[in-house]
Amino acid sequence: MALTDRLKRGFVGRPIGSDRLGETLLPKRVALPVFASDALSSVSYASEEILLVLALGGITLLHYTPWIAAAVVILMLTVVASYRQNVHAYPSGGGDYEVASVNLGPRAGLMVGSALLVDYVLTVAVSVSAGVANLTSAATGLAEHKVLLASLLVVLLTLVNLRGVRESGTAFAVPSYAFIVGVLVMIVTGLVKTALGDAPRAESADYHIHPEQSFTGLFLIFLILRAFASGCTALTGVEAISNGVPAFRRPKSRNAATTLFLMGAIAVTMFAGVTALALISDVHVAENPADLIGSNGEEQRTVIAQIAAAVFGDGSPGFVYVAAVTTLILILAANTAFNGFPVLGSILARDGYLPRQLHTRGDRLAYSNGIILLAGFAILLIVVFDAQVTALIQLYILGVFISFTLSQTGMVRHWARLLRGSVAADTDTDAGATGAGAAAGASAGSGDSGEKLDDQLTGRVPLEPRMRGRVRRYQVVSFLGACMTGAVLILVLLTKFTRGAWIVCIAIPVIYLCMQGIQRHYDRVASELTPEPGPPTLPSRVHGVVLVSKMHAPTLRALAYAKATRPHTLVATTVAVDPAETERLRQAWEERDIKIDLVVLASPYREVTRPVLEYVARIRRESPRDVVAVFVPEYVVGRWWEHLLHNQSALRLKARLLFQPGVMMTSVPWQLESSSHAQTRRDHAGAGAVRRGRVLPSEQVRPGNGSGT
C-alpha cells in the first residue's frame, strides 16, 4: 500500500460500504450535541452582546435587558415551534432551501441556499475564532499564533468529519453535555444562593460605565433594537436540525422534532438563566474597556466567565470547569456547520447549482468534497480577518435570518396549499424524501399515527377534515415567525451593514449568480447531449490512421489492432521532424514488409501535434460524414520519475484530438515491466478514489442528476 493511502487510512479510517449507511444514522442523544452545539454555544455570548450594546448608553439602560431578553426568548420559541413543523412537512434534509424552492419558487430557494452557504462558513470561522480567543486569553503565550491555531482546529474538525457522521457525533457528545450540565448547575447554584440572600457579585459590579453618548427618543429606541438584534445571535443554529433530518434514526421527522424541542428548551433556559444571573450579579461590560470606570484597565473577562467566578469563586474548580467547557463548546459549534454545509452542498449539486463532485460520498460515506470546501473557505476567512471575533461577528446571522424569513414565508404558503388540497402536485419533489427508505420505514413502523400525520403534512395523502384546525394553527405560527424574523433581518441589516455586513451583502448575490451560471451550463450540456430518437446509426465509412514515430513493438501492435478493426481505409503516418529518423523508419517499414502505406507529414517548426491535426482535419474535410479512427501506440511506465524521462507528446496529442469532431481515438498501450509496480500498488490500495452516485435513500431521484463521465 502506498504511503499516501496509509496516511489516508490512518486519518480517515477504512472505507464503508453503501449498504452500511443506515448504521451511521444518529440516535437523538447523539443528534442533539451534533446539531445543537451551535445553538447552545451561542448562549455563551448572546447575553453579553445585549449588555455590550446597552452599555453604550450607560449603566442606566441596563434595566431594559430583561425586556430584550424576553423578546429574544419569545422569538426563539416561535422559531423553534415553527421549525418543528418544517421537519414534518419537509423531512428530506433540504430544510429551508427546499421549503423556499417548493413554495416560493427556485429563485427564493437559491437565495436561501446562497445565504446558508455563507452563514455556515461564518459559523465555522466565528465559533473557532471565539474558542481560540477564549483559550488564548487564558494561555496568553499562544495569542500571537491565534490564526495558526484556529486554522489547525479547522483542519482537525475536517479530519474528524471525514471519518463520518456518527463517529464525529460521539466525539462531540461528551463536551456538549458537559457544557449543558455546567451552565445549568451554575444557574441553579446562583439562583439558590440569591434566594438564600447570598447573591453572587461580579468582579465588575462596582465599575461605572462611561456612556458614549446619551440616547433619548428615537435614538434610544434604535439602541434597544440594536441590542435586540445582537441578542438574536442566540437563534443561530436552530435551522441546523431541520437540515439534518436525514441523519436521524427512524422515525426521522419525529426524532428531529423532539430533538428540536429539547434544544429549544435547553437553549431558552440557559439564555434566560445566564441573563438573569448577569443582572443579579451586576456584570458590567463595555465594547471599549476604557469606558469601564473603576476597572484596573486589564482585559475584561467574558460575561459567562464573570458569572462563573461570582457563583463558584474565582479560580475554583467550578469556575475552571465552566471556562473550559465554554471554550470547548465554542470550537465544537463549528461542527454543526460541518454537518450542515456538506448536506446542503450535496442537495444544491443534485439540483445542478453546484459542481457534481459535491454530491459524491467519500470512503466513509461523508460528503468529503463539501467538508473540504467548507474548511477551505473558513480558513480563508480566519486568515483574512486575523481570527478576530469582533470583526467576524458583524458578518454573522445575516444569512441565517434571510433563511428563516424565506423559509417561514414558504411554510405559510405550504399550509395554505395544504388547506386548498393542492400540495399533492408537488409529491414528486418529496418522493425522494421517502422513496426506497419510506418503503422500508412503512414495513417497519407502519400504522404509526406519527407517520400518518407526516403523510398528511407533506401532502402525500389528503388532509383529514379534523386536521384542518391544526394546520391553521401551524400557519399562524409560521406567519408570526416570518414576520418576526423578517423584522429582525431588517434590523440586523440596518445596524450591522456599515460594520462589515456589506461583505455578506456582496457575497450572497455573487454565490447566487455563480450557482445560476452553473445550472445554466448543466442545462445546456444536458440538452446538447439529448440523443435523437431511434437506434444508433452506423458511421458511413471509417478511415484508420496509425500514428508512428519509430519501429518498435507498440507500433506493430497498433498496426495489427488497427487492421483487426477492419476500417474502410488504413494508413500509417509519421511526422518528419528529423530526416534521418524518418529515413530509418521507412527502411524498417520495407524490411518488415508492412503492407500499410506510410504517410510522411512535413513539420517545418519541429512540431508533432499540428501536422497530425491538420492531416486528420483534411480527411474529415474531404468526407465530412465519415469517421477518422486514430490509433496511438504508447508505452506505459510505472514509476513517477519515469514519466519525466519520456516526452508526453502522445498525451498532448490525444488531448488535442479530442476537440476534433468525428475523430475516434484509440490508445494501444504497451506495458513496460515497471508498469506492474504501479498496477500492484493500485490493487493494494483498497477501495479507490473514483466514486460517484447517491446512496442516501431519502434523496430525490431526478432525471438531471446523471454522471458527467
Please, which of residues 464-523 interact with its own copies by CB under 8 A?
518, 521-522
DSSP-assigned letter for residue 216: -
- Residue 689, interface with its own copies (CB under 8 A)? yes
- Residue 621, interface with its own copies (CB under 8 A)? no
Within 8 A by CB and 6+ apart from 319, the residues are 305, 308, 309, 312, 313
- Residue 13, interface with its own copies (CB under 8 A)? no
- Residue 2, interface with its own copies (CB under 8 A)? no
Q: Least separation, in Å, of the C-beta of 324 and its own copies?
A: 40
- 8 Å CB contact between 117 and 105: no
Q: Which of residues 583-612 bind its own copies (CB under 8 A)?
A: 584, 592-595, 603-610
- Residue number, 395 or 547, with CB nearest to its own copies: 547
Q: Least separation, in Å, of the C-beta of 304 and its own copies?
A: 44
Within 8 A by CB and 6+ apart from 292, the residues are 204, 207, 208, 209, 210, 284, 285, 286, 300
Q: Which of residues 558-587 bind its own copies (CB under 8 A)?
A: 559-561, 563-567, 577-581, 584
H-run or E-run covering 631: strand 627-636
Residue 299 CB neighbour total at 10 angstroms:
8
Cell 469563586, residue located: 313
- Residue number, 22 or 313, with CB nearest to its own copies: 22
- Residue number, 468 or 643, with CB nearest to its own copies: 643
Q: Which stretch binds its own copies (CB under 8 A): 15-23, 129-137, 177-185, 272-280?
A: 15-23
First-residue to last-residue Cα distance in the chain: 28
- Residue 196, interface with its own copies (CB under 8 A)? no
φ/ψ (deg, to 5) at 667: -85, 130
Question: How many CA atoms are closer than 13 Å to the CA of 140, on its beta-carbon side?
Answer: 1
Q: Which stretch binds its own copies (CB under 8 A): 49-57, 333-341, 376-384, 683-691?
A: 683-691
- Residue number, 205 or 678, with CB nearest to its own copies: 678
- Residue number, 84 or 166, with CB nearest to its own copies: 166
- Residue number, 507 or 627, with CB nearest to its own copies: 627
- 8 Å CB contact between 245 and 253: yes
Task: Report how many residues bind its own copies under the rule CB under 8 A.
Answer: 120
Q: Which stretch binds its own copies (CB under 8 A): 94-102, 219-227, 298-306, 535-543?
A: 535-543
- Residue number, 247 or 637, with CB nearest to its own copies: 637
* Amino acid of residue 342: P
Q: Which stretch binds its own copies (CB under 8 A): 92-100, 297-305, 480-488, 545-553?
A: 545-553
Residues 411-450, mask of contacts with its own copies (x by CB under 8 A): -------------------------x--------------
- Residue 549, interface with its own copies (CB under 8 A)? yes
Among 3, 196, 218, 529, binds its own copies (CB under 8 A): 529
Task: Give start and end residues of each alpha helix (H) in 196-244.
Answer: 217-231, 238-243
What's the CA gap between 547 and 585, in Å, rounded?
Answer: 12
- Residue number, 383 or 577, with CB nearest to its own copies: 577
Among 13, 15, 318, 450, binds its own copies (CB under 8 A): 15
Q: Which of residues 649-668 bind its own copies (CB under 8 A)?
A: 649-650, 652-654, 656, 658-661, 663-668
- Residue 125's closest CA among 372, 331, 402? 331
Within 8 A by CB and 6+ apart from 241, the residues are 31, 35, 36, 83, 87, 256, 259, 260, 263
Identify the bridge partners of residue 599 per DSSP, sorted by sequence position.
Answer: 573
- Residue number, 500 or 539, with CB nearest to its own copies: 539
- Residue 709, interface with its own copies (CB under 8 A)? yes
| Region of residue 104 (left: phi > 0; alpha: psi -120 to 50; beta: else) | alpha
What's the CA gap between 61 and 330, in Å, rounded?
Answer: 29
Q: Which stretch binds its own copies (CB under 8 A): 158-166, 235-243, 377-385, 687-695?
A: 687-695
- Residue 553, interface with its own copies (CB under 8 A)? yes
- Residue 100's closest CA among 478, 438, 522? 478
